[in-house]
Amino acid sequence: MAAEAETFTLLPLHLDPSTKAVSSSSSTTTSAALTTELTALNLLHRSLLSLDTPNGVPPPPVPVNPKRSAQIGKLRETGNTSFRKGAHADAIRMYSLGIDMALGRPGWEPSGLVREEVSGLYANRAQAHMALQQWAEGAVDAECSVEMKRVGNAKGWWRRGRCLFEMGRLEEAREWVGQALEFEAGEQDLVGLMREVEAALERRARQ
């Protein structure tokens, strides 16, 4: 029945005295939701333990720990340098490390920042994949980039459009670029790509 303000359902929980990990003591009645929740709880607990704030309480989101940001920035720079030198595989590896690091930020750090970083890194990795003509990976990465940041991400939009076009998925490309133009109206690259896609579609229709 309803969880009233003063009552709660007692769950069969058990705390390991040495590891302080919470687990369910009766293995037969444990629901899947409880198990996943307890895993998440133990994970969070461990990340809380590594904090060095006075009360052991997560700090407010706003002043961000600059160490991780600097590392992510460095990985991106290294990736960019490799890309410019033509070492695309190395660039992809660097960007991937950066993405893992950005996604590995503790949960209480601002999500807007994570979006910004991850979007940039995915866009760059998409470009590296495109340079290697790995259109499928490039398309997925560019989609990720756009998903994280829709506005002001013309490069991300364009890259997925280009990848779809190169894979011959012209209808999808037209739809995608059309969507992109709603966000980034008048972006020259996108308009140009749209024209290319339309022309290719027409050519296909005539054949």
Partner 1 sequence: MVNWLSLVVPFAYLTILLGSLYTFSHLYRARKLSKAASLEPWFPPHLQRNIYLTLLHLDPSESGEGGPSKVPDSVLKAALLRRATEDIHRVLQVQNAKPALQSLLQRGSVGDDLWQRFLRAEKEIQEEIKDVVAEANAFAPGWGQLIFQTANEMAQNALLRKRVEEIQAQVTAEKEWWEKKKAGIQADFMKELDEDSKATQAVPTTGRGSDDDAVLVEGGGPTAAQQQGSMKKRKKGKN
Binding mask of the shown chain, residues 157 to 196, with x at each position contacting partner 1 by CB under 8 A? ---------xxx-x--------------------------
Residue 203 found at the interface with partner 1 (CB under 8 A) = yes
The four Cα atoms 123, 124, 126, 127 give a dihedral, to 10 degrees, of 120
Which residues inside 109-138 make contact with partner 1, applying CB under 8 A?
A: 109-111, 114-115, 118, 133-137
Q: Residue 23: helix, strand or coil by DSSP?
A: strand
Residue environment code for 178-195, b if the CB has 16+ CB neighbours within 10 A, otherwise e: eebbeebeebebbeebbe
Rounded Cα gap, residues 197 and 8, in angstroms: 60
* Chain-centroid distance, C-alpha 162: 20
Residue whose C-alpha is closest to residue 163's, from 149, 148, 150, 144 = 144
Site mask, partner 1, residues 10-39, x = CB under 8 A?
xx-xxx-x--x-x----------xx--xx-
- For binding to partner 1 (CB under 8 A), which residues are involved? 1-3, 5, 8-11, 13-15, 17, 20, 22, 33-34, 37-38, 40-42, 44-45, 48-49, 55-58, 60-61, 103, 105, 107-111, 114-115, 118, 133-137, 139-140, 143-144, 147-148, 166-168, 170, 200, 203-204, 207
